[in-house]
């Protein structure tokens, strides 16, 4: 309040002072304009009066020429001209010829024509020019100015002189009203800086000498009209005025006003302004003081009321905290702190109400952690709880702040992502979630844990209009992803699954990649467990994408299967493996069999046998250097066609491996009838073989079954020395995995091919 009042007072006085100063400036400007007008009038009239002197001189010249009848016209009184007191004519010798005062002598005028002065007058420079002499101050009339004009004939010879006394006082008396009413001071100054006459306040004076003073320097500078910029000697303050020089005569008119007298006329109005400002200021101060006093009184009462309200607020806050705590417990998961099923349904329903007005997609992700039960059983529920907490944190970090994340129970999570531009963006989000969750958990209560999510995706409004429909369909898609493998995601709309993991982009470049050899092969050795000799290798396809770098088969094999591209890709792999074997042979390395993976569609391809046969022939390789790996899923749709193709391949001399054994649906009858050389136990049974008795029993029974059927047993995914020793004790024939060698390009395997075995301490 005080600050506001101070601002108002500052503004009030600023406006008042500004108004006063503006009026002063306007008064000064108006005075200068009036002075300019008066100076212009006075100078014009004075010029006219001096012009009459020339007329008198021509009349006198006629009289000197013998025209005596013109003599009466030389008398100013005869002409009614009161500005001239008297006139006189002198001959060339300076003798008086005529006097309007009828005097025999004119001593005052004769002084203008002495011998020394006459010589200067007769020079060509001063002929026919008016001489204005300083007045004689002895008689007290300093404004009576003597004038002299030399007269010449046509030949330039001096004939005589015309002399007159000009009464400037009489001339200025005509402006007495202007001087009194306008408070103006009118001065007439000659070129030497002598004041000839002054009219100020109706009083006539003159005779001041300003020669050499700044006040009269404008006469010598030759400048025309202008403002006065100097203080007149004898004045206390500089007057406001202007000076104006006569065009034809060495005289100047100065009109000025005393600024104190000029501004003094404004003082009554200005005093009224100040009185009003003081009155308003006092009113503002009193009002402010009253309001401040009222505010203090109200504050005192408010503090009294506030004290009583604080106790009530304390009780209310306690109730609110209890309510919030109860709501938090009811709506959030106690373990992870993220929303539970109840709150998710509430928030997701609100999101869907907004989605009806949006043109973008809304996606619901249903997540389930693979092998979570196994982690709980083998490493304890404390580790499982820590894993759930870390998964929730990673989900929250991978998504936008306003996306919904909830835990439904157990290892099931659900995510609602809003305002997505297209299906490709949904796939990118799913890929990000998979990569984020499948990254290892190196230190969960001292345990190293790995898991991966299976994700089902339902899109609004395509896959459901309500949250219940979307949840049901996303759950169904999640089970589809889980049955397809680990760390995968699937859309409820199957047509969208082809675009997963950069699907549309990779699919559009797939055929070009085949032509430009963007695909490459990495090789992983297979080692027998007696002497740890390398017995063969598995060729694994990779895509060296020009923009995305190295892409693993999990991202593009599904595309190839869904769009009939797996057959040309398989032909490329067969040719690349045979070409690499020929290169190793050329480098002097010992050749070992290389296994390639063949899909169900390739087994139905009639050109498969011919492609294998032609590639072996072209590179001069024996059939035993090429092995075929098939999964149990190859026999689900058409077991007879698959069996017939495998029989032909075995007849060509190739060995057949049954890959990922234990994860499919083939029975013992199929294994007995298929031309299989060896069984490859899936890595999921090897990873926890030391801790999970069920996995150990499956591996042991598989080894026993293979022995009874005369088959070899190969274990995949061996990552530790303990797993390796355990498999050797169980009687497994061969192993492969990261512990021995990760899949690497062909040039990195030449050293191990030359050595032929691994050293296991």
Strand blocks (E) in 8-167: 84-91, 96-99, 131-132, 144-152, 158-167
Taking the C-alpha atoms of residue 520 and residue 551, their distance in angstroms, rounded to an integer, is 10
Question: Can you give the pLDDT at residue 645?
Answer: 92
Question: Can you give the pLDDT at residue 501?
Answer: 46
Residue 417: strand, helix, or coil = strand
Q: What pLDDT, in 10s, does the model give residues 587-605?
A: 888 899 999 999 888 888 8
Taking the C-alpha atoms of residue 263 and residue 247, their distance in angstroms, rounded to an integer, is 33
Residues 6+ apart with CB under 8 A from 141: 135, 169
Taking the C-alpha atoms of residue 535 and residue 677, their distance in angstroms, rounded to an integer, is 14
Residue 116 has pLDDT above 70, yes or no: no
Instruction: Please list the residues that pair with 166 across neighbouring strands.
Output: 84, 145
Question: Can you give the pLDDT at residue 670?
Answer: 66
Question: Can you give the pLDDT at residue 128?
Answer: 53
Give the pLDDT band (50/70/90) at residue 118: low
> Cα–Cα distances in Å, from 219 out to 178, 189, 222, 224, 244?
25, 9, 6, 9, 10
Residue 502 has pLDDT above 60, yes or no: no
Residue-wise burial string across 322-360, b where 16 or more C-beta atoms lie within 10 A, e elsewhere? eeeeeeeeebbbeebebbbbebbbebbeebbeebeeeee
Q: Are the beta carbons of 112 and 163 closer than 8 angstroms? A: yes
Question: Can you give the pLDDT at residue 690?
Answer: 77
Mean pLDDT of 445-470: 91
Q: What pLDDT, in 10s, does the model give residues 243-257?
A: 888 888 888 899 988
Taking the C-alpha atoms of residue 408 and residue 394, their distance in angstroms, rounded to an integer, is 16
Mean pLDDT of 730-738: 92
Which is nearest to 736 in space by CA: 757, 716, 758?
716
Nearest 5°: phi and psi at 451? -150, 170
Question: Can you give the pLDDT at residue 135?
Answer: 75
Taking the C-alpha atoms of residue 562 and residue 497, their distance in angstroms, rounded to an integer, is 9
Please report the DSSP string for 226-273 in residue order.
EE--SPPTT-SSPPEEEEEE-SSSSEEEEEEE-HHHHHHTTHHHHHHH
Mean pLDDT of 220-240: 77
For the question of whether the overall pTM of this predicted structure is more than 0.85, the answer is no
Give the pLDDT band (50/70/90) at residue 223: low
Tokens of 11: 């503004």
Question: Can you give the pLDDT at residue 669?
Answer: 60
Q: Calculate what percentage of the chain has a pLDDT beyond 90.
A: 32
DSSP secondary structure letter of residue 332: B
Q: Calculate what percentage of the chain has a pLDDT beyond 70.
A: 92
Give CA 90 to chain center in angstroms. 95
Burial of 469 (0-12, 13-18, 19+ CB in 10 A): middle
Mean pLDDT of 689-703: 82
Q: Are the beta carbons of 121 and 133 closer than 8 angstroms? A: no
Question: Can you give the pLDDT at residue 16?
Answer: 92
Q: Where are the domains of the chain?
A: 49-170, 341-500, 567-755
Question: Can you give the pLDDT at residue 106?
Answer: 80
- Lowest mean pLDDT across 178-192, 434-448, 660-674, 687-701: 660-674
Q: Are the beta carbons of 449 and 342 closer than 8 angstroms? A: no
Strand blocks (E) in 83-238: 84-91, 96-99, 131-132, 144-152, 158-167, 184-190, 195-200, 203-205, 226-227
Give the pLDDT band (50/70/90) at residue 496: low
Length of the chain, in residues: 761
Taking the C-alpha atoms of residue 746 and residue 731, their distance in angstroms, rounded to an integer, is 30
What CATH number should be reported for the domain whose range is 49-170? 3.30.450.20
Question: Can you give the pLDDT at residue 362?
Answer: 92
Residue 327 has pLDDT above 70, yes or no: no
**Would the CA dihedral through 542, 545, 550, 556 be positive or negative?**
negative
Mean pLDDT of 295-323: 85
Residue 220 has pLDDT above 70, yes or no: no
Average pLDDT score over the chain: 85
Mean pLDDT of 428-448: 91
Q: Are the beta carbons of 190 and 218 closer than 8 angstroms? A: no
Taking the C-alpha atoms of residue 619 and residue 628, their distance in angstroms, rounded to an integer, is 18
Give the pLDDT band (50/70/90) at residue 115: very low
Q: Look at the domain 567-755 and name its fold.
A: TIM Barrel (3.20.20)
Which is nearest to 408 in space by CA: 374, 456, 442?
456
Q: What pLDDT, in 10s, does the model give residues 21-71?
A: 998 889 888 888 888 898 888 888 888 888 888 888 888 888 887 777 777
Which is nearest to 335 in space by CA: 247, 408, 394?
408
Q: What pLDDT, in 10s, does the model give residues 268-297?
A: 999 998 999 999 999 999 999 999 999 899
Taking the C-alpha atoms of residue 341 and residue 330, their distance in angstroms, rounded to an integer, is 10
Mean pLDDT of 138-146: 74
Indicate the CATH number of 341-500 among 3.40.30.10, 3.30.70.270, 3.30.70.980, 3.30.1490.20.
Answer: 3.30.70.270
**Mean pLDDT comparison of 89-103, 110-124, 583-597, 637-651, highest-scoring range:** 583-597
Residues 6+ apart with CB under 8 A from 326: none
Question: Can you give the pLDDT at residue 498?
Answer: 47
Residue 242 has pLDDT above 70, yes or no: yes
Tokens of 161: 């002189």
Residue 569 has pLDDT above 90, yes or no: yes
Question: Can you give the pLDDT at residue 592?
Answer: 93
Give CA 493 to chain center in angstroms. 42
Question: Can you give the pLDDT at residue 687?
Answer: 81
Residues 6+ apart with CB under 8 A from 330: 342
Q: Are the beta carbons of 543 and 556 closer than 8 angstroms? A: yes
Q: What pLDDT, in 10s, does the model give residues 545-560?
A: 998 889 988 778 877 8
Question: Can you give the pLDDT at residue 119?
Answer: 46
Burial of 542 (0-12, 13-18, 19+ CB in 10 A): middle
């Amino acid at each position: 309040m005080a600050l506001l009042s101070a601002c108002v007072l500052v503004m009030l006085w600023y406006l008042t002072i500004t108004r006063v100063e503006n009026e002063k400036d306007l008064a000064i400007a108006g005075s200068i304009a009036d002075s300019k007008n008066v100076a212009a009038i006075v100078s014009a009239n004075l010029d006219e009066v001096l012009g009459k002197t020339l007329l008198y001189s021509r009349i006198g010249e006629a009289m000197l020429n013998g025209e005596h009848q013109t003599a009466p016209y030389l008398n100013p009184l005869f002409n009614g001209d009161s500005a001239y007191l008297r006139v006189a004519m002198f001959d060339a010798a300076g003798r008086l010829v005529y006097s309007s005062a009828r005097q025999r002598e004119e001593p005052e005028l004769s002084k203008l024509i002495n011998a020394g002065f006459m010589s200067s007058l007769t020079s060509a420079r001063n002929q026919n020019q008016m001489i204005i002499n300083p007045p004689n101050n002895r008689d007290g009339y300093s404004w009576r100015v003597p004038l002299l004009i030399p007269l010449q004939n046509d030949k330039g010879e001096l004939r005589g002189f015309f002399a007159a006394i000009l009464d400037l006082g009489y001339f200025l008396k005509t402006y007495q009203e202007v001087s009194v009413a306008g408070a103006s001071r009118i001065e007439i100054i000659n070129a030497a800086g002598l004041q000839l006459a002054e009219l100020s306040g109706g009083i006539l004076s003159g005779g001041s000498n300003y020669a050499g003073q700044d006040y009269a320097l404008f006469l010598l500078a030759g400048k025309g009209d202008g403002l006065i910029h100097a203080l007149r000697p004898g004045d206390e303050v500089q007057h406001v005025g202007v000076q104006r020089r006569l065009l034809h005569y060495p005289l100047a008119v100065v009109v000025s006003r005393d600024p104190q007298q000029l501004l003094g006329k404004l003082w009554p109005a200005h005093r009224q302004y100040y009185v009003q400002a003081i009155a308003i200021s006092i009113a503002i101060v009193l009002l402010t003081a009253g309001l401040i006093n009222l505010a203090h009184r109200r504050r005192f009462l408010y503090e009294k009321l506030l004290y009583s309200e604080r106790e009530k607020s304390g009780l209310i806050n306690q109730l609110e905290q209890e309510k919030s705590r109860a709501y938090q417990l009811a709506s959030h998961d106690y373990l992870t702190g993220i929303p539970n099923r109840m709150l998710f349904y509430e928030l997701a329903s609100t999101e869907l109400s907004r989605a009806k007005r949006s043109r973008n997609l809304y996606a619901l992700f249903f997540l389930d952690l693979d092998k979570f039960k196994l982690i709980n059983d083998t490493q304890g529920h404390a580790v499982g709880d820590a894993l759930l907490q870390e998964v929730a944190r990673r989900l929250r970090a991978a998504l936008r702040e306003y996306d919904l994340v909830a835990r439904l129970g157990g290892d099931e999570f659900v995510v609602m992502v809003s305002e997505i531009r297209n299906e490709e963006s949904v796939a990118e989000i799913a890929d990000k979630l998979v990569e984020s969750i499948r990254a290892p958990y190196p230190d969960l209560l001292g345990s190293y844990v790995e898991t991966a999510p299976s994700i089902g995706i339902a899109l609004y409004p395509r896959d459901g209009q309500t949250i219940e429909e979307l949840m049901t369909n996303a759950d169904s898609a999640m089970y589809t992803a889980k049955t397809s493998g680990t760390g995968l995601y699937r859309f409820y709309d199957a047509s969208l699954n082809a675009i997963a993991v950069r699907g549309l982009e990779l699919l559009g470049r797939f055929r070009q990649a085949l032509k430009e050899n963007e695909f490459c092969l990495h090789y992983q050795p297979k080692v027998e467990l007696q002497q740890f000799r390398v017995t063969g290798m598995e060729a694994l396809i990779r895509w060296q994408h020009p923009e995305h770098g190295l892409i693993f088969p999990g991202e593009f094999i599904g595309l190839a299967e869904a769009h009939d591209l797996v057959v040309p890709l398989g032909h490329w792999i067969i040719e690349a493996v045979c070409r690499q074997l020929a290169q190793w042979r050329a480098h002097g390395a010992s050749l070992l069999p290389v296994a390639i993976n063949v899909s169900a569609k390739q087994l139905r391809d009639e050109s498969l046998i011919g492609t294998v046969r032609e590639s072996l022939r072209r590179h001069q390789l024996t059939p035993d250097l090429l092995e075929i790996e098939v999964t149990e899923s190859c026999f689900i749709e058409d077991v007879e066609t698959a069996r017939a193709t495998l029989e032909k391949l075995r007849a060509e001399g190739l060995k057949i491996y049954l890959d990922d054994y234990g994860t499919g649906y083939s029975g013992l009858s199929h294994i007995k009838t298929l031309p299989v050389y060896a069984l490859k136990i899936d890595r999921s049974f090897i990873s926890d073989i030391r801790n999970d008795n069920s996995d150990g029993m499956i591996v042991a029974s598989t080894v026993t079954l293979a022995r009874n059927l005369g088959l070899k047993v190969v274990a995949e995914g061996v990552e530790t020395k303990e797993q390796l020793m355990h498999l050797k004790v169980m009687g497994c024939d061969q192993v492969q995995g990261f512990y021995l060698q990760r899949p690497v390009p062909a040039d990195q395997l030449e050293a191990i091919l030359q050595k032929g075995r691994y050293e296991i301490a």
